[in-house]
A and B are shown apart, each in its own frame.
Chain A
Amino acid sequence: MKTELFDRYVHEVGRRLPRRQRADVKAELHSLLADALQDRLAGGEAEDKAAPEAAQVAILEEFGPPEKVAAQYAPPRRYLIGPRVFEIYLIVAASVAGSLSLVFLIILPLLTIWGDGEPLRVLGSYYVEILDDYLGIILASFGSVTLSFAILERVLPKSAFEDKEKKEPWDPRSLPKIEDPSRVQIGGLIVETVFIVIALIVFNFFPQWIGLNYVASVDDAPRRWFSIPLLAPTFFSAYLPLLNLLWILNIGLNLVLLRQGRWQLFTRLFDFGLAIFGAIVCYRMLTGPPILSLEAITPESLRQAFELILPLMLNVALIIGLVSGVVEAARKLYRIVQTGSRRISA
């Protein structure tokens, strides 16, 4: 008999439990639910026999919502920020991170680029000053948000969210479907492939687009369009062939995945290899010949500002790329090992 609702329920309970007790509790829950269903169908009401899903719903309602059951199984924890407010905390923290990034990475550079004369110099130096303090600003912002929520966690009465929960009875039919980890996320792959193709075209055929493009007036002349390429010749000789290879291999993998619709061991291994390759390319770009050539930037004040800012921003981006590449590779390797061990145990 299909017990899909039970499977979804056990999955939902399991994902809320610590990893070390998850498999055991899930096995026991399956067994208990099967006992309850067997009992209900054997001695139970006629409508249950005709509609096993209704019987599953009735049993799950008796068991209670997955979060309640999981909370009973999991050992008591001490929280800085507990589950009641954690989702709101994540939203606020993400908003703070988004606002800081918007200001620092987009608005200030734009103002710096679009300005001219004195305001440009002022903005440029302001930007450099902020750069020094940026880490401090990030830490202070997240510290304040975290502290506020830690206080909220302790100040809010336990009943703060209870009334809302009681008004909305739990419906087992609303349990989310179990995600198949091997199924390919088609939308994401298509978007990724489109962006890679755009990068391939731009870097290989329109490299002049990667530079400073702005409108300004110099020495009281009418405002005109300036286009200053930023990439150094060494970028095209040392790095672009590697990036091209990485992008083409990535497109190839995405096309295979889109065709197959599911991850296989081979595609997972290939994906892992690409993550390592990407991290190596980042490392080479970080330690190799210069990527940027800023000599052509005029006026002088703008060039000085960019000489301070751009290499630093690029290095930060490459370090983030390198670290996330390594983390991503480790995650992919873990998934390969996990899939392998699941296959062996099956």
Chain B
Amino acid sequence: MADPVENLTSELRRGTLVLTVLSQLDRKQYGYSLSQSLAKRGVEIDQSTLYPLLRRLEKQGLLESAWSVEGPHPRRYYKLNTAGQETLETLKQEWFALRDALDHLLGKDKER
């Protein structure tokens, strides 16, 4: 049986996944470069989760993608489109509001 804390932590992270990915796609990136840049910022996402997620977001009309042959082999680049930018803005506002509320609930305000 999996550790319940581990399950809850991964569930918590999963909830932030879309926002995390959208936030990095204001410039065009291919899957592997996105995975690496997120890892460098301390956000590790399973590759088997990240790449299909990019396609799902594209299907939902938030990203646009195109193949490019600039590098050593063809790569598929993803970038936010207009709907994606608007969604990102909305999600950011939601995130900040949620963060403030949680900070309050968790007593961070008192620490400040």
Contact = CB atoms under 8 A, between A and B. Distances in A.
Nearest to B71: A35
Interface string A28-42: 111110111011000
Nearest to A63: B47
Nearest to A74: B52
Contact residues of B: prevailing secondary structure: helix
A35 B75 contact: yes
A299 interface: no
Contacts of A31: 30-31, 73-76
Nearest to A64: B48
A238 to B, nearest CB: 59
A34 B73 contact: yes
Contact residues of A: prevailing secondary structure: helix
Contacts of B72: 34, 38
Most central of A38, A39, A72 by chain B CB within 10 Å: A72
B95 interface: no
B30 A69 contact: no
Contacts, number: 51
B32 A39 contact: yes
Interface string A289-312: 000000000000000000000000
Given A35-B75, A38-B72, A72 B49 contact: yes
A78 to B, nearest CB: 18
A32 B31 contact: yes
Contact of A28 (B31, B46, B48): B31
Interface in B13-60: 30-33, 36, 46-49, 51-53, 55
A25 B59 CA distance: 13
Interface in A104-142: none
A36 B32 contact: yes
A338 to B, nearest CB: 23
Interface string A81-96: 0000000000000000
Given A28-B76, A62-B47, A64-B46, A35 B30 contact: yes
A72 B74 contact: no
B75 A72 contact: no
Contacts of B1: 159
Interface in A133-190: 159
Contacts of B74: 27, 31
Given A34-B73, A62-B47, A63-B47, A73 B36 contact: no
A39 B36 contact: yes
A321 to B, nearest CB: 44
B14 to A, nearest CB: 13
Contacts of A64: 46-48
Contact of A69 (B36, B48, B75): B48
Given A31-B76, A35-B30, A63-B47, 18 more contacts: A27-B74, A27-B76, A28-B51, A28-B76, A29-B51, A31-B73, A32-B47, A32-B51, A34-B72, A35-B32, A35-B33, A36-B32, A36-B47, A62-B47, A64-B47, A72-B48, A72-B52, A72-B53
15 contacts: A27-B76, A28-B51, A28-B55, A31-B30, A31-B73, A32-B31, A32-B51, A34-B72, A34-B73, A35-B30, A35-B32, A35-B75, A36-B32, A62-B47, A72-B48
Interface of B: 1, 30-33, 36, 46-49, 51-53, 55, 67, 72-76
Interface of A: 25, 27-32, 34-36, 38-39, 62-64, 68-69, 72-73, 159
A-B pairs, top 3 by smallest CB distance, nearest first, are A35-B32, A72-B52, A64-B48
